[in-house]
Amino acid sequence: MDRAYEGNETRYLAQSLGFEPVVPPLQTRRDPWTYDTEAYKRRNEIERLFGRIKRFRRVFTRYDKTDLMFSAFVTVAFIADGLR
């Protein structure tokens, strides 16, 4: 979840589905909640990783027709990112 989805309804829905929302509350909230800041930092790392992987055109446009070829190229993209 992102700050754009920090409304009460979305939080309650995520919690009812068994997820723990790690979203900082807006600064204008009357009763802000606590959240795990370390997990939020890790979430940012994952978001940036997906942003780097989407630089590959084949991943971004889902160029491959089969799931097997797509997952294989995503693996290649992860390896290329790790080698940087």
Q: What is the mean pLDDT of the chain?
A: 86
pLDDT in tens, 3-44: 777 788 888 898 899 988 888 888 888 888 888 888 888 888
Cα–Cα distance, 5 to 7 (Å, whole number): 6
CA distances in angstroms from 43 to 5, 12, 40, 52, 68, listed in the order given: 15, 20, 5, 14, 27
- The pTM of the whole model exceeds 0.85: no
Rounded average pLDDT over 51-67: 87
Q: Would you state the pLDDT for residue 4?
A: 75
Please give the pLDDT value at position 1.
65
Q: 67-83 and 37-53 helices cross at what angle (nearest 10)? A: 110
